[in-house]
Amino acid sequence: MVSLVQLEPYYRRDKAALCSGCKPGGDAPAVIEITSFALGEDLDRVKRLNEIGVARVVPMFPPEKADTVLPIVDRWTKIMRQVNG
């Protein structure tokens, strides 16, 4: 598995070249969708990922009770609204 941190410079510079290397034997997809998993609560990073065309981010939540997790969900809701408008 390749991390987004490793791909980001290439994805930012030349998405078409990255897509062409995704399917061995030719017939590269016109677009690939990149998902970032286990992202922390970092508005600037989410904005940067959005700017370079990352399709989605998947936050991770601790396996805790609602009183711990729901405030994190609320903060992620604010981040999503700031990024998506």
Q: pLDDT 10s digit of each residue in the chain, 85 long?
A: 455 556 666 666 666 666 666 666 555 555 677 788 877 899 998 998 888 888 889 998 999 999 999 999 999 999 999 999 8
- Rounded CA-CA distance 35/27 in Å is 22
Query: CA distances (Å), 4 to each of 14, 17, 42, in order?
Result: 14, 16, 15
Residue 72, SS3? Answer: helix
What residue spans define the domains of the chain?
A: 4-84
- The per-residue pLDDT for 15 is 65
Helices (H), the chain: 4-13, 15-20, 43-51, 66-84
Contact between 79 and 39 under an 8 Å Cβ cutoff? The reply is: no
pLDDT value at residue 69: 95
